[in-house]
């Protein structure tokens, strides 16, 4: 080979390597992300299963799931409308707060709804759908009807402790919304005669927006074996909407109201400095490698006294020495955050 040919080959080879390296670098996802996860996203819910995150939130008129390998990229995930309410009946309107759970080898969607013909709190209940498919964005969803809670209410969730499954929800009692728990006899039925109220609105920060409301309860296992229920306080239109927490010591009975101790101050709330308002209705998840804990919640950027404008967001949280969570301050939508470990 002539020297000029060798030089030309070397240059071509170097150029090819550079192009391949540049292409590989271009395919690497960014190291950070920014909130919001989705620009619309009241009452977000996430579950990790089989290498995917399944995400949902309140649309008001159906139940939609998004499936993604990376939760920070859920905005790019395809949407799957898995259920649309009937035209009439007890679950025909105001479809709120869907939660997707994997129980006994099947998928269950718990959601809040009311009757279009007589909409309102008096006819608002939690309902459940069942799906035997491996992937909840496929298959057939069977209507299992209304969860037989002792009272009207909303925002039902499920947790298991010491082999017993429990249902926790926000129950309407007079002009208040309280938190109640009942043992479950199946994924769609409760021993409702054993339902107990475990918390009522008692602090001023639980009475904002002209209503006394505890809602959106979510179970979290403490680092020292505690049972924790993190809930949203006040109305969604209250700019100071925030998260409170109940704690039950390890080994205590969730059905004994005295087991639960309320933290006297919010554990997560709005930040005027970061322009984050209406922080609430959260859920919890792990990073794909299981090393990090993340809180997913909704918030808005305007302190306008409205429910509208809530977007879904997430940030990593850590743990206090006593085994309770430390959520910190809600981050600004302008602040880059490291992507969850393992994404």
Non-local CB neighbours of 72 within 8 Å, separated by 6+ positions: 33, 37, 314, 339, 340, 343
Active-site entry in 43, 195, 293, 343: 43
The backbone torsions φ and ψ at residue 314, rounded to the nearest 5 degrees and listed phi first, read -150, 155
235: three-class secondary structure by DSSP: coil
**Beta-sheet pairing, 176-186 with 212-221:** parallel
Q: Is 289 an active-site residue?
A: no
Which among 39, 157, 97 has a CA at the least distance from the CA of 280?
A: 97
Task: Answer for the pair 198, 246: CB distance below 8 angstroms, yes or no.
Answer: yes
Residue 4, token pair as written in the block: 């000029």
Query: Residue 207, Cα to own-chain centre: how many angstroms?
Result: 23
**C-alpha dist (Å) from residue 285 to 44, 67, 70, 178, 317:** 12, 15, 12, 25, 10
Which among 210, 222, 215 has a CA at the least distance from the CA of 244?
A: 215
Residue 152, token pair as written in the block: 């009207």
Tell me the DSSP string of 78-120.
PEEEEE---SSSTTSEEEEEEEEEEETTEEEEEEEEE-GGG-S
Residue 51, token pair as written in the block: 């290498």
**C-alpha dist (Å) from residue 334 to 264, 274, 327, 337:** 31, 9, 19, 10
Using CB atoms within 10 Å of the CB of residue 25, give its burial: 0 to 12 exposed, 13 to 18 middle, 19+ buried. Answer: exposed
Q: Is 273 an active-site residue?
A: no
Task: Answer for the pair 115, 93: CB distance below 8 angstroms, yes or no.
Answer: yes
Active-site entry in 94, 115, 206, 215: 215
> Which active-site residues does the annotation give?
43, 215
């Amino acid at each position: 080979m002539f020297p000029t040919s060798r030089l030309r080959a070397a240059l071509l080879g170097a150029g090819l390597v550079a192009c391949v390296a540049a292409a590989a670098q271009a395919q690497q996802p960014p190291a950070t992300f920014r909130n919001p996860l989705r620009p619309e996203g009241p009452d977000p819910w996430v579950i990790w299963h089989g290498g995917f995150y399944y995400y949902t939130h309140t649309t008001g008129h159906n139940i939609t799931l998004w499936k993604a390998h990376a939760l920070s990229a859920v905005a790019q995930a395809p949407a799957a409308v898995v259920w649309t309410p009937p035209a009439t009946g007890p679950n025909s309107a105001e479809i709120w707060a869907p939660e997707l759970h994997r129980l006994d080898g099947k998928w269950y969607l718990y959601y809040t709804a009311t009757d279009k013909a007589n909409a309102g709190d008096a006819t608002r209940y939690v309902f459940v759908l069942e799906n035997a498919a491996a992937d909840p964005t496929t298959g057939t969803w069977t209507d299992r009807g209304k969860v037989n809670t002792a009272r009207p209410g909303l925002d039902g969730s499920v947790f298991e402790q010491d082999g017993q499954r429990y249902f926790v929800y926000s129950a309407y009692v007079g002009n208040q919304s309280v938190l109640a728990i009942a043992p479950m006899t199946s994924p769609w039925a409760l021993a409702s005669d054993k339902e107990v109220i475990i918390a009522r609105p008692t602090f001023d920060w639980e009475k904002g927006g002209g209503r006394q409301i505890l809602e959106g309860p979510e179970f979290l296992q403490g680092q020292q074996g505690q049972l924790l229920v993190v809930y949203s306080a006040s109305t969604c239109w209250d700019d100071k909407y925030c998260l409170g927490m109940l704690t039950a010591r390890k080994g205590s009975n969730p059905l004994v109201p005295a087991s639960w101790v309320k933290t006297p101050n919010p554990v997560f709330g709005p930040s005027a400095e970061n322009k984050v308002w209406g922080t609430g209705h959260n859920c919890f998840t792990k990073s794909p490698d299981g090393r990090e804990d993340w809180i997913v919640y909704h918030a808005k950027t305007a302190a306008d006294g409205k429910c509208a404008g809530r977007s879904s967001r997430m940030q990593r949280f850590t743990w206090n020495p006593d085994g309770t969570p430390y959520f910190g301050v809600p981050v600004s939508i302008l602040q880059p955050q490291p992507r969850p470990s393992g994404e």
